[in-house]
Structure 1
Amino acid sequence: MDNQYNYYNPEQEHAGGTPGGYDNKPERVKKTTPKWVKLLCSALVFGLVASAVFQTGNVVGNKIFGTGSSGKTAKQASTVGSTKLNTTTNSTVNSDIADIAEKVMPSVVSITNMSVQQVQNFFGGVQQQESKSVGSGIIVGQNDDELLIVTNNHVVEGSNTLTVSFIDEESVEANVKGTDAAKDLAVIAVPLDSVKSSTMDAIAVATLGDSTKLKVGEPAIAIGNALGYGQSVTTGIISATNRELDTYDGELIQTDAAINPGNSGGALLNANGEVIGINSIKVATDTVEGMGYAIPISDAGSIIQNLMNKETRTKVAEGEQGYLGIQGVDVNSEIAQMYNMPTGVYISEVIDGSGAKKAGLSKGSIITELDGTSVNSMDTLKEQLQYYKAGEKVTLTIQTPDKGGEYKESSVEVTLGTNTQ
């Protein structure tokens, strides 16, 4: 059996020239020195030689390098009874992401939505309960009186009170300026006279990029109010473009940058620190990892511009709110695709004597917009009507079926009435 090690065998080492390896001459008796004496002498010799070499090295070192034994010793990093860590005073690491975050975070805000929802109680009845939700927003502009912030519609819908918190942690109330439920977009406004001058110095208006030029694999940075803990930064790449989901009317950017609850309405950035998307949706299942979606900023630009130029409204007291006078059914994207219908509110009944009846609205038509704001459900329609008083006029965009089964668009002006029911 082969062995990787070679062992010493005294029987294989021959001393002389006779067969068997032994001389025939009588062996001379030699005086031997005890082993301990040999070891002692060797140690003394080694010590003398080493000392001489060391001293010579010191002399040469001092002559040439200015070093050597000069009576000084290096200070120990730690001593017995006083343990210290060897640390550096320069712990700052600069990176492109850190620079981008520092530049863009002043333009991102946190949004708190306080709303009232109806919930079923223990006894089977229905009662109202205050609810709190959080999201993010991006400062995109300013007019003479207001600071304008874009976010998701689902961040602000159903709100009784909206609160915006800036980079310096100052908080002020905001009003909804306009929404587009179909595109999940909204613009809210903060009165400038409610913002401190120090806050104005701390915040910034975001720079919008061009999402049509995105390439799969390029870096992506998400900033937002994750879980309501305050602004945070996550990074990843652009995983895909032109993604379509059943829950959204349009195409989306897919990214693996972490997008968590509270990030909705926040910024998705490119490597130049430009906003390329508005974070909106995350796939959250046990079998999915790293699939978040953002609304492309180039697709949203015209909608945001339109919402920014709308008249800022505040909610009207419930007893003073205008009444349209219809009963309707939601036409969501799935039903619209199945029956070749536009998304909106299908008018199933028009109430006699109502503003809708007087304006000529009829059963079978579909309401798609109210004063330029898209309508995709009865909840959205009711939400918008909360900003109008009885007696005010609104312009509805109506899709009416013609004889060929196609829908024809028209605008109808309706004077809102009072709900007597």
Structure 2
Amino acid sequence: MPRLAPIVLPALLAALLTAPLSAQAPAPQPVPQPVPRPAAPAPATAPAAIPPAPASQGAAWILMDATSGQILAGHEIDTPRAPASLTKVMTSYVVAAELAAGRIKRDDMVLISERAWREGGAGTAGSYSGFDVNTRAPFEKVMTGMVVQSGNDASIALAEHVAGSQEAFADLMNRYAKQLGMTNSHFVNAHGLDAEGQVITARDMAILARALIRDFPEAYALHSIKEFTWNGITQHNRNGLLWKDPSVDGIKTGHTSRAGYNLAASAKRGDMRLISVVLGVETSNRADAFRIREGDNLALLNWGFRFYETHALFDPATPLATQPLYKGETDSVALGVAAPLLVTLPRGRYGDLKPVIDVPKQIIAPISEGQTIGTVRVQLDGQTVAEAPLVARQAVAEAGFFGRLYDEFRLWWNAE
């Protein structure tokens, strides 16, 4: 009789234990037998691939990692659309940049001109902050009114304060947009009311949001304020996600008949920050529009945080490499990073990261502390997902005459 292979025996035994018994005559006094426990099901394993991002009802949408600028998901991300009040994020960036450059000051008083009042004030159909015509208000109050209340009057007043006129300010907006790499956007005004030629894309909006968060965190912090009062009138931030998710701290809503309903949002959980943008939600019901644009942004953010993770790589206090050094008081120099390198990748792939160091073949003294000497790149599946400069961890002075002469010979010899 052939012998059963060992792997068959457990299966065979299990089959016998679980098979139904055939009908038999009852035994005189049956002895109770232990009921065999069914085998526990094998634990479920996570699928290898990340499921698709939840699709938005917006005409265009994007999810971006704020650390690297990596696009995690998107649809029609380069299709130009009317920005509505998302324009004010560009206005915020320009004002913050001009403030940092010293061309305006934080303690300035801003004139609310007749144009700002007539085109963006209480007598218009758009949102306003309630500043009185031909009065001056503190710069910080006007900025807060523009960001929190989406005030068109505040936007025009700030544009005139920075550049003299809204038209000149729009030119500044386009210059800064070009510097940031917003290649498919164009601005005509500072507030976002529909105007011929004023467009933005989902990708460019995410680029702009990332730049504001990175370059001007104080200006970005205004976007988390939930309400603002001026002239006895309290108005609430229209970004409902500020109340729904404590990790959300911005950014901006917008709506016009041409744009539909827009919302750009950002959230930070741990070391990871994501930016979502939903453009062009179309519905005749305002409450439905708010629900859709907020729900779609939150779904994108939750998906990103669920399936991606951010890691801080490399301790600045620890050298990554020690490289030979010529013509120096020492014959080597330690290299490292100036700050931890943050990288965002699919969850569970941290162990697959591969660092690659690029340094010059010959490093010659003198070397100053913090001098950039090379680059460290982090790769996943052969693609670079993050990189940072390699810098000298200490200064190395030039060697004396004979030391330099000896290393000159070494360089000549190694070149051969």
Into which bin does the TM-score normalised by the smaller protein fall?
under 0.3
Structure (1/2) with the larger strand percentage: 1
TM-score (norm 2): 0.22
TM-score (norm 1): 0.22
Structure (1/2) with the larger helix percentage: 2
Report the structure number with the largest CA radius of gyration: 1
